[in-house]
Amino acid sequence: MTHRRRSLAGDERGAVLVQVAIALLVLIAMATFVVDHGVMWVSRVQAQNAADAGALSGAIARAYDELTSPPASNGKAFNSAMGAALANNVWTAAPTAQVSWACPTGIAGSCVRVDVYRNGEFGSTPLPTIFGKLLNISSQGVRATATARVATGNATNCMRPFSVADKWIEIGGSVNEFNHWEKGKELNPHDDYVPPSGSSSGSGFRLPDDFGQPVTLKSGNPNSGSEAITSGWHLPVRLPDGLGGYVSGGSDYSAAIANCIGHPVSIGQYLPLENGVMNGPTKAGIDELVAKDPGASWDAASKRITGSCVPGCAPISPRVVPITVFDIDEFQWRSAGPGDWSSAWKTYPANPCPTGGKCVRVANILGFFVDGMSGSDVVGHLTSYPGEFAAGAPSVGGGAAFLMNIQLVR
């Protein structure tokens, strides 16, 4: 009997079973943490990508396709945001998403917020577990949020050499002709022009009122000091060459119409005028520009471009270009006034032209879809355009901002 007791006490077969059971429990717990937690974190990144894509896509649509605020619940901005979010699977399945327009605290502007769910909320499917089921954990979930906003730009590096007269308030004188100054003297009564500022759209072009508006750029003579400033009257300007100078001449002017110059032009900048009307170079440049997207046309009903080569040829149609509008009040005073271009005027300096002679001050920058030529004039439609932000340059507020800058703010 003593021998049997000693034998049972020395038998370790039961202890091994206990150790194996404990080891299996530890291994399952580790596998649950590593594998299932890995599924959750991969899915979390995918959910954030879906939210980011939805917010950015919605903001782009809000900037260029749907200008009403807030956008419609089933409009272009909503559908674009929702479509982009749901196109990004979260762990092999589409998530659910919600789209709203609230900006985060402290952020101003037109925002698009997208919340993405893969956690069982709002009809979404929870994430599966693989080893967690052994621990009675049958599902897990993730969610993500992102907000993008439509900010305003004040510069572009793809400027075209057209500077068109801004809109004014018609009060006195000939209809559709800006009349404020005559030989340096203020007319009474006279038309008024209010340039856009950081807090106001002024009297000039604005969104959404002028979005899609047909505009004819009527060629003006920069050598004349007496031509009437009428709607669409434009002057050929010289653009920066990136070396401290400005391109000039027919071939450079034509090339600047057809191609992006790659050097920034900002609001508030003075641009020197070309030496001639540039009718021939204008036609050559417009022909080359239209040939880059020959099937594109403006649909007046939907206020959108149809038949474009986008996205195969470019992110936006090559025929959508930025153009400047100039301060007509300053230009008319300087052109006909006793001080000419050598005197200070209001808050603007004397001798403002960077190359001497005549110039225009950029009051705003617009997007312009080029239809083509009508005689010696350029015809097209106003639209918004991707812009940049130049530190130190003035910005325009209200509805005057046609340059759009899309920012992911959350």
CB-CB contact of 82 with 71 (8 Å): no
What is the Cα–Cα distance from 393 to 159, expressed in whole angstroms? 16
Question: Is the pLDDT confidence value at 240 over 80?
Answer: yes
Burial category of 13 from C-beta neighbours within 10 Å (exposed 0-12, middle 13-18, buried 19 and up): exposed
- Quick one: pLDDT band at residue 9, thresholds 50, 70, 90? low
CB-CB contact of 193 with 168 (8 Å): yes
What is the three-class DSSP state of 40? helix
Tell me the average pLDDT across 177-183. Answer: 89
Which residue has better confidence, 341 or 161?
Answer: 161
Task: Give tens-digit pLDDT for 87-112.
Answer: 999 999 999 999 999 999 999 889 99
Question: Is the pLDDT confidence value at 134 over 70?
Answer: no
What is the Cα–Cα distance from 178 to 180, expressed in whole angstroms? 6
Which residue has better confidence, 254 or 221?
Answer: 254
Q: Please report the pLDDT score of residue 385 as a whole number.
A: 96
Task: Give tens-digit pLDDT for 137-162.
Answer: 778 899 999 999 999 999 999 999 99
One-letter amino acid for residue 25 of the chain: L
Q: Please report the pLDDT score of residue 13 as a whole number.
A: 61
Task: Give tens-digit pLDDT for 348-360.
Answer: 999 999 998 899 9
Tokens of 237: 């300007």
**Residue at token pair 């900037």:** 63
Tokens of 320: 């959508």
What is the Cα–Cα distance from 22 to 16, expressed in whole angstroms? 10
What is the Cα–Cα distance from 296 to 116, expressed in whole angstroms? 36
Nearest to 99, CA basis, from 153, 142, 42, 61: 61
Tokens of 103: 């900006």
Q: Assign residue 66 a region: left if phi > 0, alpha if psi is -120 to 50, beta otherwise?
A: beta
Which residue has better confidence, 5 or 26?
Answer: 26
Q: CA torsion, points 246, 252, 256, 261, in degrees to nearest 10?
A: -50
**Per-residue CA distances from 67 to 82, 133, 140, 346 (Å):** 18, 50, 40, 34
CB-CB contact of 373 with 244 (8 Å): no
Tell me the average pLDDT across 160-174. Answer: 91
Q: Please report the pLDDT score of residue 19 as a whole number.
A: 66
CB-CB contact of 36 with 132 (8 Å): yes
Torsion sign (Cα): 262, 285, 326, 59: negative
What is the Cα–Cα distance from 193 to 167, expressed in whole angstroms? 7
What is the three-class DSSP state of 115? strand
Question: Is the pLDDT confidence value at 34 over 80?
Answer: no
Task: Give a three-class secondary structure readout of 193-217.
Answer: CCCCCCCCCCCCCCCCCCCCCEEEE
Q: How far is CA 187 from the centre of its chain?
A: 40
- What are the extents of the domains in the chain? 12-152, 155-404
What is the Cα–Cα distance from 326 to 267, expressed in whole angstroms? 10
- Quick one: pLDDT band at residue 243, thresholds 50, 70, 90? very high
Q: Please report the pLDDT score of residue 28 as a whole number.
A: 63
Average pLDDT, the chain: 90
Q: Please report the pLDDT score of residue 324 as a whole number.
A: 97
Alpha helices (H) in 166-325, listed in sequence order? 250-258, 279-291
Number of neighbours of residue 57 by Cβ within 10 angstroms = 23
